[in-house]
Amino acid sequence: MSHIDRSVTNHDVIPVIDSDIFLDRPDARFSVGLIAVNDVALPGLESEYVAHFELRRKVYVDQTGQLDASELQDDGTDRDPDDARSVTFAVFENYDDGVRVLGVSRLIIRGDDRPLPVEEFCPDSFTGRELSARSVEVSRVIARHEKAVMQELVQWHLFAIMLAYIANHDLERTFAIIEPWLERHLQGSIAISRIGKPRYVEHYLDYNLPIEIDIPASAERVNARNGGFIDQYREAEGLMTYVGRLPKRSAHEVVR
């Protein structure tokens, strides 16, 4: 992250929206689920999908500088052509002023029309390797919270729901392009391996490296740590999964 603005805090970038996600579960702390397919929000989640773009913009443009403001669309979002071939997930928090969007991620499904971004940015890593239309790239993974332990929890649930989706839909080899500093952190969460050396990627304004994610090994790790959440997400696909409870002393206590 080459242009981090330390004055932009995690609290600053988390959108707060009006949402009915917790209407039937007012005691729940978090909600996790699929929110869009191929750039079309699931019915009833249109506002949540718009808000997920707000989190992406605030993080990648305002906080970390990984994307330049000139790359934003006319509507102020970082929407790109890959959203039209992606499934998008989000983690929401039941909050005193509304609902907070704490985490988002997407799975880009390759298809037959064009390569994955990692193939374009790191072509040397795929020399002699022909990927199928069901190959996948993990992309736009964001987890934000004022407390580090909660932020890590959000990230775990994002990985769990993505792994569940990959399993449910028989998707195949899964890749990502990440900053080198993130490699060690991810190795403690999922099973990854380098498939190329770090190189400067103009689109992300920084050095990045291509990795492949071992789906069976990663699923085993995440399931073990999260008490079988991948299995729960597989069963609940298309529905919101509720996690945790609000403190009994206040149904809308601000968590700082």
Please report the pLDDT score of residue 205 as a whole number: 79
Task: Specify if 246 maps to a domain.
Answer: no
Task: Specify if 108 maps to a domain.
Answer: yes
Task: Specify if 253 maps to a domain.
Answer: no
Tens digits of pLDDT across the chain (256 residues): 456 788 999 999 999 999 999 999 999 999 999 999 999 999 999 999 999 999 999 999 999 988 888 889 999 999 999 999 999 999 999 998 899 999 999 999 999 989 999 999 999 999 888 899 999 999 999 999 999 999 999 999 999 999 999 999 999 999 999 999 889 889 888 999 999 999 998 888 789 999 999 999 999 888 887 677 898 999 999 899 999 999 875 445 444 4
- Distance, CA of 248 to CA of 232 (rounded, Å): 25
Task: Specify if 195 maps to a domain.
Answer: yes
Domain of residue 79, CATH code: 3.40.630.30
Q: Are the beta carbons of 87 and 165 closer than 8 angstroms? A: yes
Number of separate domains in the chain = 1
Please report the pLDDT score of residue 5 as a whole number: 83
**Single-letter amino acid code for the residue at 215:** I
Query: How many CA atoms lie within 13 Å of 122's alpha carbon, on the beta-carbon side?
Result: 23
Q: Cα angle at 15 between 12 and 19, to 5 degrees?
A: 155
Please report the pLDDT score of residue 91 as a whole number: 98
Token pair for 216 = 């069976």
Query: pTM to 2 decimals?
Result: 0.92
Task: Specify if 4 maps to a domain.
Answer: no
Please report the pLDDT score of residue 2 as a whole number: 52
3-state secondary structure at position 86: strand
Please report the pLDDT score of residue 203 as a whole number: 80
Enclosing domain of residue 196: 10-237
Q: Are the beta carbons of 47 and 96 closer than 8 angstroms? A: no
Please report the pLDDT score of residue 25 as a whole number: 96
Task: Specify if 73 maps to a domain.
Answer: yes
3-state secondary structure at position 8: coil
Please report the pLDDT score of residue 4 as a whole number: 77
Task: Specify if 249 maps to a domain.
Answer: no
Task: Specify if 242 maps to a domain.
Answer: no
Non-local CB neighbours of 237 within 8 Å, separated by 6+ positions: 34, 164, 165, 168
Please report the pLDDT score of residue 249 as a whole number: 53
